[in-house]
Amino acid sequence: MRRPRAQSESHIYHVITRGTGRQNIFEDDPDRHFFLNLLNALLTKHQGKLLAWCLMGNHVHLLLKTPLPSLSLIMQQLKGRYAQRFNARHGRIGHLFSGRYKSIPIHDDAHLMAVVRYIHQNPVRAGISTTCNYRWSSFPEYIGSPTITDTSFVASIFADRVAFVAGHLVPVCAAEIRPDATSRLSDDDARRIASRVAGSSKPQAIGEMPKRVRDRILGVLRGIGLSIRQLERLTGIGRGIIQRCRPATSDEDPTATASPPLVESAPAVSQSSIPGFRQRRLCRRFLSRASGRHAAANHYATIAASACLDDMTSAKAFRSGTFRALLEASRSANARLRTADNAVAR
């Protein structure tokens, strides 16, 4: 079930739409001219305003001022009619755009200014232009004569044209364009955390794990703050799979400082509580089938077998416990397991 789109009180939205599989949606200038003319016609029909825009190779940034119901109609007709013309012109079949478009509501003037700068800085970040004065964006209209862009609203927020240009010299950070988003980890930190949670030196090992284990690890990593793009780069897992994994809540966060319940609930080793060899072997076998031959299976089997329980409740414990518990308890669990093995041998 799709979540309803967030609504903006100002009726201003930062809209992003991409090509399917990140393929190009513009082959030449006639494609770009047709897209802009069609967009302008639809905005005129639905009484909307185009405040800023930028056409990249495989995606588009638009800053639109229109009520949310009108926005849906505009984007539906824009994407549908443009895709039909593009496919017919270039002998192509199938979907051109990837899924739903993004619509990020604009909260205030500071947010608006940041998004305008972000849109105009896209060509510079992509390396296709050395300045923001990119032909296929609204920046030339702000410093020259506007054609399809309504520049009056945004220009009134800046003191003058000099302030507008000077503001674009300062790079925009993610917190400015997404005030409600959490800060992202660096790729190095993300790689270390992913490797630690996966129990392997290579985060790609997550993609080789069974679906249930893989999805939970991805959910935990998303809950920590790793972005979908970071996980896609580090693990090689498709973006669609990562998006379907629900971010873990705070009690599942492996970076949480609270003592993990699985570690606290593990009873101390004693002669009366040591499980028999058969129970521990069955426990290992059960967990090996559930987790496969991966590093994560060693963590699960070790901790479950050292929980010193006479039944299979330890096998259930790893599902409800946190990954922090599984990871941090592995060293002490190994020691307890060796003690248990020695006691059984005696």
Which is more confidently placed, 36 or 170? Answer: 36
> Using CA atoms, how far apart are residues 244 and 115, in angstroms rounded to an integer?
27
Q: Between the CA of residue 332 and those of 262, 268, 274, 325, what are the distances in Å?
A: 13, 11, 16, 11
Residue with tokens 């994560």: 296
Q: What is the pLDDT of residue 281?
A: 53
Q: What is the pLDDT of residue 119?
A: 95
Identify any residues that bridge with 54 across adjacent strands, giving them in sequence order. 61, 137
> pTM for this structure?
0.56
DSSP label of 19: B
Q: What is the pLDDT of residue 343?
A: 53
Mean per-residue pLDDT, 40-58: 96
Predicted confidence (pLDDT) at residue 216 exceeds the cutoff of 80: yes
C-beta neighbour count of 207 within 10 angstroms = 16
Predicted confidence (pLDDT) at residue 301 exceeds the cutoff of 50: no
**Domain residue spans in the chain?**
12-177, 187-252, 261-345
For the segment 115-172, what is each residue's pLDDT rounded down to a tens digit?
999 999 999 999 999 999 999 999 999 999 999 999 999 988 887 888 888 888 888 8
Q: What percentage of the chain has pLDDT greater than the value 90?
A: 38
DSSP label of 9: T
Predicted confidence (pLDDT) at residue 201 exceeds the cutoff of 50: yes
| Helix, strand, coil share of the chain (percent; to 5) | 55, 10, 35
- The domain made up of 12-177 has a fold known as Alpha-Beta Plaits (3.30.70)
C-beta neighbour count of 110 within 10 angstroms = 12
